[in-house]
Structure 1
Amino acid sequence: MGTVGTLARFAALPAEHITFYRLFLGSLCLLIYMLASSKRSQILHRPGKRTLINGAMLAGFMFFYIQAMNYTSMANAVMLVYLAPLLSAVFAHFIFKERLAVANVLAIVIALLGFAMMMQFSLAASGAENEILGLFYGVLSLLTYSGFMLINRKPDDSTPYQSTLVQLLVGALCLLPLILASTPDISAAQGLWLLAIGIIPGFIAILCAVKALRHLPAVTFGTLAYVEPVAVVCFAWTFFAESLTLLQLGGCSLIILAGISQGLLTHKAKATAAGIRG
């Protein structure tokens, strides 16, 4: 997931086009993969309502996040979006009965602290004229991202491949009107970057996210999701010489520590449950 920012900077195209091609080309890659494997029989199926809704959630999350950055600072937009895993874990506690132990809550708090350190504890107003509108779009991105994680977490009759294919296609269709309203010239080099965006953060990343959500509690997936901004910062440091302060490095370490701890807690809980049943 974290590669999309780097690839988008190299592509140098409007954000709505980046998002559309990420979803559309991702769906084409998945379709080709399913046709070339034993999954071809899964392509033609009747998608469930939850899967269709989640496709719109996926497009909405990306679109609202882009809009938020147009009206407020990137720090504000990112901070709001990455409250979604925490919100999802809280919702899952009540909806799916995924109880939050003290250690789980502590891991979430550590991840949030680490992310705040990465942002250098700055949530300053951008000074933009439509700051409130930007924060409104940021809240919408927070809610749609939380909905995406929670709906994928709920059991469904479709396979992860079927669910991912439909969500990618529905998301692309939701963004199609924006693409038709603006058609910039795309060079051959930009086309190659768009193809990379469709394959890596489109096809591979979203399929892995959907498969992970089928097997992991929302609290575990949510904590691990904080590795994404760490990856973004590392890519920016490597490719664009954007340096990290000691505070930001400490934040990265806390996020990774929280993610590893959450995974170990989940493994321990499953092993304990298996021992009780045995």
Structure 2
Amino acid sequence: MGHSRGGNAVAKAVSYNRDFAINNRNNGEESFTRIHDIRGVFSLAPTDFDQEAPTNTAWVTLSPYCDGDVANPHGIYMYDNLRYNPDNVDGAQFMITSIGANHNYYNSFWFNDDATLNGFDPYCSEASPIEGRYAREDQERHGEFLIASFLRLFVGGETQFAGYWGGKERLPESACPIGVETCDELIHLSFQQPKDSIIVVDDTLDASSLEQNNLENANSSGATDVLFWCSPSFGGGWIVETILPMAIWIVAFRPRRFLGRPRFRLGIWVLRLTFLLCSQKRGWM
């Protein structure tokens, strides 16, 4: 189990463990030649700078909806990258979205409320009348249940909470905010079916999906103003994905220093939203 960059690291450990080129390389030290039996990996609010694909292993990512650190939840990219990966033939993979959770409250050492950086979303702002934030203690409650039950099932072989991970049982009351009996509407669980249990109609992995689906039938559309294919990555290389987001960050989040007193607040918010789009897979927030 790993949190934030640690969540990235534990996902990378899966591929590292199976990379025979690395396992058998001798850099003057004892070679790492024995493949370890990694049975389960929990990536908590992870970064994903290298498009990790923890294939053929029980794996789950938890994405806090009000994450102000990894504001463009990278774990979702990992989950999507596994969906049609031809090498992924075994292992249960899950994605959890925790509505109202921030990045730091899963960690007893990181004390600040990073969700304040997500102020553009009224659900994540404690000053908003419609906010839905967790208290630290309540966020820890479901974090402890999800991490412990996942590892107990897929690593330890205990089946007490297998019903939840199979989508057949509710979260226990101990995982909900204090005084709340059921809270499944706050913790959204998704999981990928085995490949032999699904029929893929259209994976939309390339632009040809606009005209033809995986069953070789024609696709068509009507009454649409705009129709285009959206690439899984932002595109444009490191200049677009790194330099441009940083430039937008400077202008949008430090306007008084670089632009003087802002006169058009709407324009500033547009720049902030543009930053979120451009920073895809870079975790600048």
The two structures have a TM-score, normalised by structure 2, of 0.25
Bigger CA radius of gyration: 2
**Bigger proportion of residues as helix:** 1
- Determine which structure has greater relative contact order: mean sequence separation of CA pairs < 8 Å that are 6+ residues apart, divided by chain length: 1
Larger relative strand fraction: 2
TM-score by length of 1: 0.25
